[in-house]
Amino acid sequence: MWVWMNQADIDTINKKLDAILTQLGVDHRLLQAVKTEEDQIMSALTDQLDALEKNTKAIDDSEDAAEAAFTRLAAMIADLKAGVTDPAVLARIDAVSTELANRASKLAAAVVATPT
């Protein structure tokens, strides 16, 4: 079935179609701009996450090294104490041992204070 329209009706329909296509073009450009901004934000977040992971690895390595050092120092202190009878030397060993314990406590507190 054919419907015949006059030129004025056709022109009105064409104008409405042009308006719809124009709006679709504007909407598409806005969507593209939003997607571009989202991509930039995700890229920045990924960069920050990569840096955080790198720093976390460095902290893990440092903690492992500190733990190993404290273990070695504790063994050395125990060995020194076992072989020394001079009270002055024992006092120095105790002072070093106390300082080591204080540093270990500070390190432990810093680790506990690290946000998760």
Query: d(Cα 16, Cα 22) in Å, to the nearest integer?
Result: 10
Nearest CA among 107, 40, 37, 94 for reference residue 67: 107
Residue 48 and residue 23: Cα distance in Å, rounded? 37
pLDDT values of the chain reduced to their tens digit, one per residue, 116 residues: 566 778 888 888 889 988 888 888 888 888 899 999 999 999 999 999 999 999 989 988 988 898 898 889 889 988 888 988 899 999 999 999 999 888 888 888 887 777 76
